[in-house]
Amino acid sequence: MRAFEVNFDGLVGPTHNYSGLSFGNVASTSNLKQYSNPKLAAKQGLQKMKALADMGFKQGVLAPQERPSVATLRKLGFSGKDHEVIRQAAQQAPAILAACSSASSMWTANAATVSPSADTEDGCVHFTAANLNNKFHRAIEHPTTSRVLKAMFADEYYFAHHAALPPVAAFGDEGAANHTRFCGDYGKPGVEFFVYGRAAFAHGQPEPRRFPARQTLEASQAVARLHGLTDDGVVYAQQDPDVIDMGVFHNDVISVGNQNVLFHHQRSFLDQQRVLDELQRKLAAKGVEFKAIEVPEAAVSVEDAIQSYLFNSQLLTKADGRMMIVVPEECRDNPRVAAYLDTLVKSGGPIDSYKVFDLKQSMRNGGGPACLRLRVALTETELGAVNPAVLMNDELFRQLNQWVDKHYRDQLSEADLADPALLQECRTALDQLTQILRLGSVYPFQL
């Protein structure tokens, strides 16, 4: 049966702003207090989705969340009517209001880890929502993420949903940003590659000293167990801790994979050769010839990789079987990265073209093309069981642009987050969105 990779991109929410919330993510902390443009951010994301859908790639959309999260503010002791909760938080704890207002669910690579049916014991597609435990503003995402995913992948015959792992640092889980699936055909059994930043229950193992390691080995192992993966279909690797300390806060900032290809930096993993050998061996046992494209530090430094987001790219298989790499404009603006990309596509290797998108609104918070999408490999039958209203086409693109034009502001500052009208605007917009995407009631204000 035919099978596809479907990319579900996060629709940027109406409260998109720059609050410097992610210690260890250089773009986030350095753009603190800049004015954001939520309308432009949402449109940049929609442009990418539509352009890729028009090129023949399967593309879906994942809804944003209700922000500010009044429910979270109430848990923290702010009380009264909703607008009073916001007023109190703005006066007493503006940084907490900002955290509760983040549109960070747009980076759907962090929404969940997904294992396709060909890899799992029970033959279902498995989803585990990521607890995003390392950052408060992201740790509040998973309950709504789970409801939205269930509204998109509702059929229990095909889709199995797991709640987020226990919300403690030892099980810190950042979802698909640290997970790559290698395979031949998307519908055939593959090897799932889990990359972690530290082992929580081991002592004396290397770990970063400056910035946090968000993902633990134990979290990755728990997800593999929940999904019913077998040892011959799993490889674990530790990210180089020194590189985390330079600002590589997720593995998808230093490597990306698709089918049998891994595109990665020379300094991606600890014990890199062992990792590559294990991937090669386990894939060979499934009849797949693994190809690693290693970018040397001499061609693109770790700093350039972080600044340009070369590896936070999408590798997409075209109809002719060759791959296209989707990169942010920052890659073209960096002369060393631009030169590398030109050489790469002319090298005769599996990647023979690249496509550039302007995603600056998201990039300023450390979110490139790969952060903005959750990959779900599906057979034709499974794709037929997905809520069709979330799949991108001309009509949905038109509707969503119109919806953004109607409800989004084109400027947002920290002070604007104190405006109680913003909450109302957000709820009105999301209520309509759940009708467009036929999600039912998924937001706290709707429950």
Ligand X SMILES: N=C(N)NCCC[C@H](NC(=O)CCC(=O)O)C(=O)O
CA–CA dist 181, 375 (Å, integer): 10
227 is catalytic: no
107 binds ligand X (CB under 6 A): yes
Residue 124 bears catalytic tag: no
Cβ 366 to ligand X shortest distance, Å = 4
- Rounded distance between C-alpha atoms, residue 313 and residue 292, angstroms: 16
**Catalytic one of 227, 250, 264, 407:** 250
Q: Return the closest-CA partner of residue 392 out of 107, 6, 116.
A: 6
Question: Which residue, among 339, 263, 350, has the nearest Cα to 304 in the 3D structure?
Answer: 339
Q: How far apart are CA 439 and CA 442, in angstroms?
A: 7
Around 227, how many Cα atoms within 13 Å sit in the side-chain half-sphere? 30
DSSP secondary structure string, 121-159? Answer: TTS-EEEEE---TTSHHHHTSHHHHHHHHHHHS--TTTE
Q: Report which DSSP code applies to 239.
A: B
- What radius of gyration, in Å, describes the C-alpha atoms of the chain? 21
- Binds ligand X (CB under 6 A): choice among 367, 379, 391, 429: 367
Q: Which of 100, 124, 183, 371 is catalytic?
A: 371
Q: Which stretch binds ligand X (CB under 6 A): 45-53, 57-65, 195-203, 365-373?
A: 365-373
d(CA 3, CA 119): 13
How many residues touch ligand X under the rule CB under 6 A: the total is 22
Least distance CB 328 / ligand X (angstroms): 12
Residue number with CB closer to ligand X (195 or 437): 195
Binding-site member from 365, 390, 423, 429 for ligand X (CB under 6 A): 365
* Of residues 297-356, those binding ligand X (CB under 6 A): none
Cis peptide before 212 (omega within 30 of 0): no
The least CB distance from residue 143 to ligand X, in Å, is 17
Residue with tokens 């109607």: 406
Please report whether residue 361 would count as binding ligand X according to CB under 6 A. no
Applying CB under 6 A, does 25 fall inside the site for ligand X? yes
Ligand-binding site membership of 24 (annotated): yes
Based on the shown chain and the rule CB under 6 A, indicate whether residue 37 belongs to the binding site for ligand X: no
Residues marked as binding? 19-28, 110, 137-138, 214, 252, 365
Residues in contact with ligand X by CB under 6 A are: 18-22, 25, 28, 102, 104, 107, 109-110, 135, 138, 177, 250, 252-253, 365-367, 371
Residues marked as binding for substrate? 19-28, 110, 137-138, 214, 252, 365
Which residues are known catalytic residues?
174, 250, 371
